[in-house]
Amino acid sequence: MANSRVDPSRLAAYDVLKAVRVEDAYANLALPLVLAEHQLAGRDAAFTTELVSGTIRWQGTYDAIIDACLTKPKLEAKVRDALRLGVHQLLGMRVPDHAAISTSVDLVRARVGVGPTGLTNAVLRKVAADGLATWITRVAPDPDKDPAGFLSIAHSHPRWVVEVLGEALGDAAELPDLLDADNAAPRVMLAARPGLSSVEELLEAGGVRGALSPYAVELPGGDPSGIPAVAQGRAGVQDEGSQLVATTLADAALEGPDLRWLDVCAGPGGKAALLAALAAQRGARLLANEPQLHRARLVVRGTRAAKAGLLGVVVGDGTRPPWPADTFDRVLVDAPCSGLGALRRRPESRWRRTPEDLNTLVPLQRSLLDAAISSTRPGGVVVYATCSPVLAETSEALTAVLAGRTDAVVEETRQLWPHRDGTDAMFIATIRRL
C-alpha cells in the first residue's frame, strides 16, 4: 500500500532514473520497458517521457540549485533522484508548485522512506520561490570571470564538455546556441530505404520531407513503429546526419568497379540498412562487420529487409581485418566515439563520459581508419565518421593517420551541428585511396 498515493507517471520516471544511475542504462532504452511495466500510454506516457529526459538533460543545473538549498552537503542518491524530478517540474514544466512538491514527497516516502520527506518538502519549497533564470544567476559563476563555468551551470553540461565543444565550434558567440540545442528534444526523422520504401510512402503516413537527406522524412507526432514501412524494416528511424554519412559514401565519385562495399562498425545497423538498399540498386553488395556479437545481432535484424544488398553480417575486429587488403570499393568507418555530438538523444552520456575516455577512443579510431584505408582498393573511397565534433576524434585523427601514409588523401570534410543543421553533430570525411 506504500505506493498507492504515488502518481504512476512520476513513479515510472523515478524508476527510469534509478536504472540510469544504478545499471548504467540508457534512458531511451529503459523508458519503453518501464512505461509498459506501469501500463502507461498517451498523455501519461508523454508526461513521464518529458520528466525523464528533461531531468537528465538539466541534471547539472538542478544539482547546483539543490545543493544551494541544503543545510548539510551530503544527500542520499535516491533522494537526489526524487528532488531532481521535483525541480524539473517546478522549473522546467508547467506543473503547479503544490502538485510538484506534494507528489515528490509522496515519491520519497514510497521509494526511500519517511525520514527524508521533511527535507524533500523544505528543499522544493525553497526552489519554488524563484524561477530558473534567477536560480542560474545565483548559483552559476560570474560569466565574465569564468565563462566556461557559467555555461556549464547555465546550460547543464560538464565543464570539460563545454570546453571541447567550444574548441571544435571555434566561435564563442555560437556556443550557447549549441548547448541550448543539446537540451532540446530531437525531431523524429525517418529514412526511406530505396527500393524498399519511398519518401512518398512516408509522407502519406503524416511525415514532412527532410531538408538535407533525399531519403529523410520528419514525423511530427505519433509512434514510428506504427508505420508499416518502419515495422517491416523497409524504412528506419534515423537522424538526417546519420543518413548523410551513408549517402556521402554512396555518392562519392568512383572509377572502376563498384561492387563491394564495407561497413566496418555496422552496429546497430541503421547506416548498414540504408547502404545495403543503395548498393542493391547498383548491383553492389555490402559486408556489414561489427566487433560485438550482441550488436551484430541488431544489424541482422535492422537489415532484414535489405538482404538483396548484403554480402552478409560478420563479427570481426576492424583493426585486424579478416579480409584481404585492397578488397573493397567503398568503405565506411563509423567509429566508436565519445558521442558528444548526440547529446540531444542520449543526454546521460554527458554525465558518464570523461576526458580520459578519449585516451582509449582516439587510438582505436586511428587504428580503424588506418585498417579501413588498407582494406580499400586503389581508387576506392573511405568515409570516416564520428558522432562527435571533438577535434581529437575528427580532424586530428585524420591528420595523424594520413601523416603515416602516402597512398591516401582527404577530399572533403563536413561538420554538422544541431543548432545550425538540426542534426546530430556528425563529422564526415571522404578519403581517396591513391
Active site residues: 387
Phi, psi (deg, nearest 5) at residue 432: -105, 130
Cell 525523464 identifies what position?
52
Give the DSSP H or E segment for 162.
Answer: helix 159-169
Name the residue type at position 182.
D
| CB < 8 Å & 24+ apart, contacts of 139-142 | 139/64, 139/65, 139/67, 139/68, 140/64
For residue 387, give the DSSP letter: S
Question: What's the order of all strands across the beta sheet hosting 427-433?
Answer: 310-314, 285-289, 260-263, 328-334, 376-386, 427-433, 408-415
155: DSSP letter:
T
C-alpha cell at 396: 586530428
CA distances from 32 to 46, 48, 82 (A): 11, 10, 20
Beta bridge pairs of residue 79 = none
Question: Could you tell me which of 373, 273, 282 has the C-alpha nearest to residue 321?
Answer: 373
- Which of 248, 234, 322, 323 is closest to 280 using CA atoms? 234
Contact 305, 193 (CB under 8 A): yes
Measure the CA–CA gap between 173 and 121, rounded to whole angstroms: 39
Question: Rounded CA gap, 87 and 65, in Å?
Answer: 9
Closest CA to 415 of 400, 431, 394: 394
Within 10 angstroms of residue 19's Cβ, the number of other Cβ atoms is 18
Entry field: residues in the chain: 434
Backbone angles phi, psi at 303, to 5 degrees: -105, 15
Q: How many CB atoms lie under 10 A from the CB of residue 95?
A: 18
Pairing of strands 216-218, 189-192: antiparallel
The C-alpha cell 515519491 sits at: 107
